[in-house]
């Protein structure tokens, strides 16, 4: 096996988290190393969000409609998703919490609100980037509730 020498940035530079088991439900995002407060957690993501009208989404076959509903950001009569749903990055798997440890800035980039320790699940408060009430009741400590990706909760 040949060892690669990095020229410039290595693919793992700026990587702080990965998809992994969630205590909230099923799959979530876990820190793979300590993350300092204020860090841009998903640095290097360059995906563009496209906004699709809910009316157009309602006309789609169920399997496609569910992709938008499970992964999209709700805003008014539109849902924001990556330019292709084949490109869902780690950040799209954040679970909801009333006590989040990351938050989105005005550009939709997530930053650590506090130091996050290796192994800890990263969570965001969905109400900070959706313009309507949560479609679920956040759970109390010790209760598990099933939600889909990008629309998950704890808290």
Say how far apart CA 24 and CA 53 lie, in whole Å.
Answer: 30
Secondary structure (DSSP) of 43-110? TT--PPEEEEEHHHHHTS-HHHHHHHHHHPEEETTEEEEESSGGG--GGGGPEE-SS-SEEE-TTS-E
The pLDDT-based confidence of 80 (bands split at 50, 70, 90) is confident
Say how far apart CA 103 and CA 116 lie, in whole Å.
Answer: 13
Fold classification of 14-43+89-134 (topology level): Beta-clip-like (2.170.270)
pTM: 0.73
- In this prediction, residue 13 carries a pLDDT of 85
pLDDT tens digits, residue range 13-68?
Answer: 889 999 999 988 789 999 999 999 999 998 877 667 888 999 999 999 999 999 88
What stretch(es) of the chain map to CATH 2.170.270.10?
14-43+89-134
pLDDT tens digits, residue range 100-121?
Answer: 999 988 777 899 999 999 999 9
Question: Does pLDDT of 4 surpass 70?
Answer: no
- In this prediction, residue 128 carries a pLDDT of 79
- In degrees and rounded to multiples of 5, residue 96 shows phi and psi of -85, 145
Question: Does pLDDT of 152 surpass 60?
Answer: no
Say how far apart CA 122 and CA 112 lie, in whole Å.
Answer: 9
Closest Cα partner for 24 from 146, 150, 151?
146
């Amino acid at each position: 096996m040949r060892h690669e020498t990095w020229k410039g940035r290595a693919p793992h530079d700026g990587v702080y988290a990965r998809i992994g088991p969630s205590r909230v439900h099923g799959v979530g995002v876990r820190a793979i190393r300590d993350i300092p407060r204020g860090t841009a957690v998903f640095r290097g993501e360059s995906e563009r969000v496209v906004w699709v009208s809910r009316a157009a989404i309602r006309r789609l076959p169920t399997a496609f409609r569910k992709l938008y509903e499970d992964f999209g950001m709700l805003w008014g009569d539109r849902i924001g998703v990556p330019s292709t749903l084949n490109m869902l990055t780690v950040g799209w798997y954040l679970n909801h919490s009333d006590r989040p440890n990351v938050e989105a800035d005005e550009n939709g980039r997530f930053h650590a609100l506090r130091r996050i320790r290796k192994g800890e699940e990263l969570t965001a408060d969905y109400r900070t980037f959706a313009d309507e009430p949560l479609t679920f009741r956040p759970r109390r400590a010790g209760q598990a509730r099933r939600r889909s990706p990008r629309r998950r909760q704890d808290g």
